Chain A
Amino acid sequence: MSAASTTPHSVSLAPSVIAARRRIPVAWAAYGLLAPSAVFLLAFTYWPVVQVLFGSLTVKGFRGEAHWGFGNFARLFADPHFAHAVRNNLVYAAGTIVPSLVLALGFAVGLSETTRLSSALRAAIAMPMLIPLVAAASLFVFIFLPNAGLLDHYLAYVGLAETNWLGDPSMALGSIVAITVWKNTGYYMLFFLAGLAGIPGDLLDAAKIDGANAIQRFVRITLPLLGPTFSFVLIIALLNVLTQVDHVIVMTQGGPSDATSMLLFYIYQQAHQNYDVGLASAATVVSVGFLFALSVVSLRSLERGIHHEV
């Protein structure tokens, strides 16, 4: 897979030539150039991780005195609301990632040739990614409105009775999933389109001459060559599942009866509504742990994916 062959270690310019002429040692100059970014990363990425670790291990006693311990984690793992949030988040992950990746790939394959129609359709599918999630929520509040709303209005024509899409605990998470799929599929489609454009046409032509039909060409050539794109999109999708709960906040507030609560929503709730910093910190540590594990597994492939087009 030649497209992903650039590694971060392959700088072949001649910095030593440049460095030799400098009065300031090159290392100090480099650290100086990194400093502005590093200050902000220290304050808002590394320090918060340390802070939240300490915060999660600080247990407040009844008389306001604090001591070290795992009390916050014990409370967290005993909290049924937290268990709900984690379970919902897993369902939400599977429910959004599988359909949006399948649809994104389908759209990309179907719309990869540029005609006036296909570029209009591509734009239509990509447009949701450009609006805020809260704007999508504002539109879907009406779409999901029981009885008078858009969905029930048109479903009535095929004889389906009204549904309380956001108010029924068995439907609410599905409705939130639907918004997310609508919002993100176009974004993932763009990556698949870019990946498809990177597949050499003569490879597919040769297979065609050898008698491979469209399905064989897709399964044997296109899909394997899209492997790096798949892993890249999967990582982005996992990240979205953990970090985007705007629609939950404005549409359902995690309800009804915890049906749409998710990890980040739980953190938001503990911090913003219950002012329970210990519990919020412990839950943050859990999601930072998830993301850290994801980074260890995927930073290399993420980095390759970022410039799979370069």
Chain B
Amino acid sequence: MRSSRVWPLLLTATALLWAIPFAWMAVASMRPGGAGAADIASLLPAGPFGLDNFRDAWTSGRFPLWYFNTVLLCGGLLAVQCVTVSLAGYAFARMRFPGRNTLFYAFLLQLMLVPPILIVPNLTTLVALHLYDTLAGVAAPYCASAFGVFLMRQTFRTLPAAYEEAALVDGASRLQIIVHVLLPLARPGLTAFAIVSVTSHWNEFLWPLMATSSPSTQVLTVGLASFTAGAEAGSEWGVIAAGTFFVAAPLLIAFVAFQRQFVSSFTFSGIK
């Protein structure tokens, strides 16, 4: 059975091919030598190594500001989303009211009519609301999340109704029940949502590019694009590799550390 040896080999080789851009990023970012080093394309990790490229990238880009803006955007947006998706998810999971199915499908429409497609009208709205060139404006179209509502609806459905009934008998209001009884139990669903939300907004480019204009509101992706364009002109490939590392590293490290949690969040199975 020769084929039983060939396939794993082919599979391993292809998978290693997938890692080459990251391998180059790692090797090139640590290889000093400045612009136009002759061995810049080599993947062989031959020394000497140094962190000069990281220092150059850090000082020539505005990484502290971009990190701050991105963390603020992702964190603030997630906080608002947690409120909107929990409340709506609860209503769709537990309450019966006229138009429920129609409304549910109207909500799901946002899975398709994603904000990047609607940049032209949404910019007009941002300007009218005086939110243009603010991080709040970048976050605004995502404050409601059809995906999150769906995820929380599924999560709430798996929780036994007995908890709520007991709390209702004790005279708790519906909001109190959601906040104090259901949300602690729904933590796996919220975690899955948080991972997907932070990943997608950390990585988003087109909308933050369109919705901001001044350097002080730039996020990591927008900053990296102009940073790369500048460094490309000087053929500073090692510095570009280091800058790309700064942008990509936080999520890559989180992924390697919490691989199972990430995978189950992305395939929506963290809500069993």
| Given A30-B91, A130-B251, A131-B248, A18:B165 Cβ within 8 A | yes
Contact of B18 among A43, A137, A182 (CB under 8 A): A182
In the complex, 11 of the A-B residue pairs with CB atoms within 8 angstroms, ordered by the A residue number, are A33-B174, A38-B88, A117-B12, A125-B15, A127-B19, A131-B248, A137-B228, A141-B240, A143-B21, A245-B206, A284-B117
Specify the main secondary structure of chain B where it touches its partner: helix
Please indicate the chain A residues that have their CB under 8 angstroms from the CB of B46 in the complex.
Answer: none
Q: Tell whether, in the assembled complex, residue A140 and residue B21 are in contact, meaning their CB atoms are under 8 Å apart.
A: yes
Specify the main secondary structure of chain A where it touches its partner: helix
Show the binding face of B for A, using Cβ within 8 Å. Answer: 7-8, 11-12, 14-16, 18-22, 24-25, 28, 40-43, 83-85, 87-88, 90-98, 100-101, 103-125, 140-141, 143-147, 149-151, 154, 157-158, 161, 164-165, 168, 174, 199, 202-206, 209-210, 220-221, 224-225, 228-229, 232, 237, 240-241, 243-244, 247-248, 251-252, 255-256, 259, 262-263, 266-269, 271-272
Q: Tell whether, in the assembled complex, residue B243 and residue A190 are in contact, meaning their CB atoms are under 8 Å apart.
A: no
| Given A11-B157, A30-B91, A40-B141, A246:B259 Cβ within 8 A | no
Among A110, A132, A141, A194, residue most surrounded by chain B Cβ atoms (within 10 Å): A132
Query: Bound complex: CA of A8 vs CA of B80, how far in Å?
Result: 26
Whose C-beta in chain A lies nearest to the C-beta of B222?
A134
A41-92 interface with B by 8 A CB criterion: 41, 43-49, 51-52, 55
Please indicate the chain B residues that have their CB under 8 angstroms from the CB of A27 in the complex.
Answer: 97-98
Known: A41-B146, A44-B143, A306-B150. 8 other contacts (CB 8 A): A45-B113, A132-B224, A138-B228, A150-B24, A193-B263, A245-B206, A306-B147, A308-B268
Please indicate the chain B residues that have their CB under 8 angstroms from the CB of A103 in the complex.
Answer: 14
Please indicate the chain A residues that have their CB under 8 angstroms from the CB of B203 in the complex.
Answer: 130-133, 135
Q: Tell whether, in the assembled complex, residue A37 and residue B244 are in contact, meaning their CB atoms are under 8 Å apart.
A: no
A223 at the interface (CB under 8 A from B): no
| Given A121-B15, A139-B21, A299-B105, A271:B123 Cβ within 8 A | yes
- From A169-177, A203-211, A288-296, the one touching the partner chain is A288-296
Query: Bound complex: CA of A295 vs CA of B113, how far in Å?
Result: 9
Please indicate the chain B residues that have their CB under 8 angstroms from the CB of A26 in the complex.
Answer: 95-97
Query: Bound complex: CA of A308 vs CA of B271, how far in Å?
Result: 11
Q: Tell whether, in the assembled complex, residue B91 and residue A34 are in contact, meaning their CB atoms are under 8 Å apart.
A: yes
A168 at the interface (CB under 8 A from B): no
Whose C-beta in chain B lies nearest to the C-beta of A186?
B18
